[in-house]
Structure 1
């Protein structure tokens, strides 16, 4: 009887695992390896100490990164390439308040959710704060 309960428990745990339903697959954007460290004590990234102050970080991902602090210790990091256009068909997304706007089709994407009114959302990367250093990676 113990073995049946253990098997049932194992199977239920196995099927309850989830990837949060988020898919980062986008045929328009290649999967570049991203491994960036941003020190929020540096003037260039000091806006990341405050909620709702997005920062553009060049030279990572397809066309750079857009990083925003969303809460205490929580950050969002997105690729600055337009997700619904070919990888280098447009200039990097421009920050407009709490949105990122594509130069090609003028579509806007919310920097808190990454969602816009097109098929694909912004490509998101993981962000982890350790002390004053923000690590962005995939």
Structure 2
């Protein structure tokens, strides 16, 4: 009986760790390799010292990155491509406060969650903070 219980616990843990999110399974945005280092002491990234001050970073991902500090020591990074439109049909999303707005359909996506009420949320990347450097990667 003990072996069966352990097996059930193992299977439960295994399935609870799977990624069922649509965020990184979006057919509209290719999987580009991301490896960006942003030092928030540099003037270009200075807004990243403060919560809710997103920054657009060009030349990464499909259409650039939008990075925002969400709390002490925590950051979110999303691709700036409209997640529910064909890649070639739209320009990079624009920042409007704590939201990113798609240039094609004007859908607004929350930069804390990446959600916009559409089929696909924004494509999210991993973020680590080391000292003053924010590492965005996948």
TM-score scaled by length of structure 2 = 0.91
- Contact 1:127/1:135, CA 8 A, preserved across alignment: yes
- State the distance in 2 between where 1:82 and 1:118 align: 11
1:41–1:6 Cα change, 3 Å: farther
Secondary structure, aligned partner of 2:52:
coil
Map 1:1-138 to 2 at 5 A. 5=2, 8-17=5-14, 18-19=17-18, 21-23=20-22, 24-138=24-138
Aligned residues: 135
How far residue 20 of structure 1 moved from its aligned partner, in angstroms, is 5.8
Secondary structure, aligned partner of 2:117:
coil
Q: Which protein has the larger Cα radius of gyration, Structure 1 or Structure 2?
A: 1
How far residue 28 of structure 1 moved from its aligned partner, in angstroms, is 0.6
1:126–1:117 Cα change, 3 Å: same
- State the distance in 1 between where 2:7 and 2:49 align: 42
- State the distance in 2 between where 1:75 and 1:83 align: 20
How far residue 6 of structure 1 moved from its aligned partner, in angstroms, is 5.4
How far residue 16 of structure 1 moved from its aligned partner, in angstroms, is 1.7
1:16–1:46 Cα change, 3 Å: same
How far residue 10 of structure 1 moved from its aligned partner, in angstroms, is 5.0
Measured on the aligned residues, the alpha-carbon RMSD in Å equals 1.5
- Contact 1:75/1:127, CA 8 A, preserved across alignment: yes
- State the distance in 2 between where 1:20 and 1:32 align: 18
Deviating beyond 4 angstroms after TM superposition, the runs of 4 or more aligned structure 1 residues are none
